[in-house]
Amino acid sequence: MSDSATLTVDGKNYDLPIVTGSENERALDIGKLRSQSGLITLDPGYGNTGSCQSDITFIDGDKGILRYRGIPLEAFADHPNFVEVAWLLIFGHLPNRTEYEFFSRELTENANIDEDMKHHFAGFPRSAPPMAILSAMISTLSCFHPQLFDLETDDQLEKAAARLISKIRTLAAYTYRRSRGLPYIYPDPKLPYVSNFLHMMFSEVYSPYVPEPEVRAALNLVLILHADHEQNCSTSTVRMVGSSRANLFASCAAGVSALWGPLHGGANVKVIEMLESIHKGKMSAQEYINAAKDKSSDVRLMGFGHRIYKNFDPRATMLRDVSEKLFAKLGTSDPLLEIAQNLADIALKDEYFLERKLYPNVDFYSGIILRAIGIPANMFTVLFAIGRLPGWIAHWHEQNSDPNMRIARPRQVYTGNGLSHYVPMEDRM
């Protein structure tokens, strides 16, 4: 295989080196294209653009493969431990016992937020969108940890990561409690990560909430399946912001904002809204599918389609299995799961979806699982953010450790007015 390509423009040849990744993905290196030829590339939505080289996550969208630091996602189905996966993503290897116990202890010790931070919650309306609060509160955290702005050593990185990963679940739980007018429940140092989150969400002052082991396992797995997905919109945002040397807190707060959008993390809320509207009889499943295919409508089959996966999304397959097991164990059912399965059955036989390679994505089933656990729909994207945080930290760190890092600054092809002149107000039409 050749290690360069030749671009011919106006009779002149330009050699473009080909970079090959460890899984044989190949990319044209256009780093010198503009200086040599005056040309730039144009790729709206970046579907053909590699923004970096990364060691963290490998995806083969055609084969439905997703691996964290080389380990296939499926390996975690029988070992659903989010803390272990967070360490793996950030530090590049599974933690040994000492590392795991040390990191778990750091998470426990950092679960509380500064008492002064609690006053900020009172400043938001009760109806405030939880993602707005989360983004603002992660930014606010930076004010309480200015010693962690420059992360030069592994030790400093570990401290900042532990604070963020631990406190995000406290912030999330307090957001929920505040929206319901409930008293805040302090973290319990005896509980592991996911149980402690559920405790802060659902315990009452004199009545601790004790989750079933299956609920803990399901939530651990949901968080793991969201933990990283290489250069997706929110992670690229974290890298973009971090490339200006903004600190980790500020960069992750921006990641939360990017995740909020309905075409990204916000899709899990939209899936439930779609399923509920079908359940309430506003439309049948088939009518919804027809509307999603109709180009004159702005309806999309939410939870379907993915920029990268063109075969199946392994996360959706695992979540479908988890949802079935969870309902069997809890002895409950959810009509929305049945509707989702019905929609998937119809869509997966429909030419429109087959031709465009649109398959269920991670958001299609995650909301149903979160509902079964008792998480309200407006908190779904917050749960996604808790899961995605280790990935954001890992990418921020990878980029900041690169001695060749440059500020991210794309170019454009200008299509506006030619040279125009200032017209004084009185002479304007």
Which residues lie near ligand ACO (CB under 6 A)?
263-264, 267, 292, 300-307, 356, 358, 361-363
Q: Do 51 and 39 touch, CB atoms closer than 8 A?
A: no
Residue 213 Cβ, how far from ligand ACO at the closest point, in Å? Answer: 27
Nearer CB in complex with ligand ACO: 203/378: 378
What is the SS3 string spanning 51-82?
Answer: CCCCCCEEEECCCCEEEECCEEHHHHCCCCCH
User: Got the DSSP string for 300-320?
Assistant: --TTB--SS-SS--HHHHHHH
Phi then psi for residue 383, to 5 deg, are -65, -40
CA distance 25 to 4: 14
Closest by CA to 88, choosing from 101, 70, 74, is 70
Q: Select the residue whose beta carbon is closest to ligand ACO and give its number.
A: 305
Residue 38 Cβ, how far from ligand ACO at the closest point, in Å? Answer: 30
Q: Do 185 and 199 touch, CB atoms closer than 8 A?
A: yes
Residue 307 Cβ, how far from ligand ACO at the closest point, in Å? Answer: 4
Nearer CB in complex with ligand ACO: 78/351: 351
Nearer CB in complex with ligand ACO: 143/263: 263
* Of 199, 264, 306, 397, catalytic: 306
Nearer CB in complex with ligand ACO: 114/230: 230
363 in catalytic set: yes
Tokens of 405: 């890092």
* Of 226, 229, 363, 395, catalytic: 363
Nearer CB in complex with ligand ACO: 34/63: 63
Residue 330 Cβ, how far from ligand ACO at the closest point, in Å? Answer: 25
Q: Do 235 and 229 touch, CB atoms closer than 8 A?
A: yes
Burial class of 217 by CB neighbour count within 10 A (0 to 12, 13 to 18, 19+): buried
Residue 262 Cβ, how far from ligand ACO at the closest point, in Å? Answer: 7
Give catalytic residues, as residue numbers. 306, 363
